[in-house]
Amino acid sequence: MRKLKLSGLLIGLLLSIILVGCGTSESEGSEGEGGETYTVATDNNFVPFEFLDEETGEMTGFDMDLIRAIAEEAGFEVKIESMKFDGVVTGMQTAKYDIGIAGMTITDERAETIDFSEPYYDAGLMLAVQESNTEIKSEDDLAGKKVATRSGTTSETYLKDNHPDAEVVTFPGIVEAYMDLQDGRVDAVMYDVPNVQYYVANDSEGLKTVGDVLQGEQYGIAFPKDSELVEDVNEALQTLIDNGTYDDIYEEWFGERKYGTEAD
């Protein structure tokens, strides 16, 4: 009797481990109905474009809403896979995934090995410092300072090209850079405007943004070179811009309507 009970318990335990295992796996399985399923590579933490919703265990953010809406419009399904940003870039170059969306700036260099959709978001770079910092008011004050950012991004390139006399410190994830800034181990962080603003306002204490927007940039959805999906995605994106869905999503994450379409 005792044995039976125990084995029942064991089976229950095993079952729940298996179930929990499925629920927390990194890829979320297919979404939507019908059509081909395409893999979508995204970054695992780039607020407010893609990050984990702790309650649902699903990736959320502007990019996630946009790619799901595009998939629905174009009639395909997506399987979201989150990883480090560099993995998204190389995942396109090696055609490991079908689509990449990760606040990725369209650059001439990347466009040699990756295809991009039409631009879907206007960004740029910005500096954050500690609130108490009175020395760094703009990028003109970076000489001799420790400036942190994420490796493999346009900020790293910008700093190396324009600020050879700053000490550039790179991290595989941007949150580590912000943490070091908060703790005073670096003097400033340079990164994408929307991320810096969002992080400073929502996720940090004692930080502020300084200076102007540096280097205008545009984000594009990425594809392996010569992907047949580019055209369909561009078409769907344009439809969503015209019918106000893009603005609905934009408003949800950025508090305004980019193209000024009517809200329903």
As beta bridge partners, residue 169 has 148
One residue of 105, 117, 133, 204 binding ligand ARG per CB under 6 A: 105
CA dist list (Å): 37 to 34, 72, 91, 153, 182: 8, 11, 17, 29, 42
Candidates 14-22, 26-34, 69-77, 96-104; binding stretch for ligand ARG (CB under 6 A): 96-104
Sign of the CA dihedral with 135 first, then 180, 190, and 59 last: negative
Q: Is 130 in the site for ligand ARG (CB under 6 A)?
A: no
Query: Measured from the CB of residue 236, what is the shortest distance to ligand ARG in angstroms?
Result: 21
DSSP bridge pairs for 127: 190, 210
Of the candidates 177, 182, 181, the one whose C-alpha atom is nearest the C-alpha of residue 155 is 177
Residue whose CB is less far from ligand ARG, 172 or 206: 172
- Compute CA 216 distance to the chain's CA centroid, rounded to the nearest angstrom: 17
The interface region with ligand ARG, picked from 97-105, 129-137, 161-169, 228-236 by CB under 6 A, is 97-105
Q: Is 104 in the site for ligand ARG (CB under 6 A)?
A: yes
Full strand arrangement of the beta sheet holding 45-46: 45-46, 50-53, 58-60
Place of tokens 């190396």: 160
Is residue 81 a contact residue for ligand ARG (CB under 6 A)? no
How far apart are the C-alpha atoms of 207 and 200, rounded to whole Å? 6
Site membership for ligand ARG, residue 139 (CB under 6 A):
no
Q: Which is nearer to ligand ARG, 145 or 150 (CB)?
A: 150
Q: What is the DSSP letter of 140?
A: G
**CB distance 214 to 193 below 8 Å:** no
CB of 85 to ligand ARG, least distance (A): 4
Binding residue for ligand ARG, selected from 40, 41, 43, 250, defined by CB under 6 A: 43
With binding defined as CB under 6 A, does residue 120 bind ligand ARG? no
Q: Output 137 or 225, the one with its CB closest to ligand ARG.
A: 225
Asked if residue 85 binds ligand ARG (CB under 6 A), the reply is: yes
- 108 Cβ neighbours under 8 A, 6+ residues apart: none
Residues contacting ligand ARG: total by CB under 6 A: 10
Least distance to ligand ARG, CB of residue 191, Å: 7
Query: Per CB under 6 A, does 72 bind ligand ARG?
Result: no
Interface with ligand ARG in residues 193-252 (CB under 6 A) = none
**Residue 43 or 72 having the CB closest to ligand ARG:** 43
Asked whether position 102 contacts ligand ARG by CB under 6 A, the answer is yes
Residue choice 38, 46, 51, 158 for contact with ligand ARG (CB under 6 A): 46
Residue in the shown chain whose Cβ atom is closest to ligand ARG: 43
Q: Which residues bind ligand ARG (CB under 6 A)?
A: 43, 46, 85, 102-105, 153-154, 192
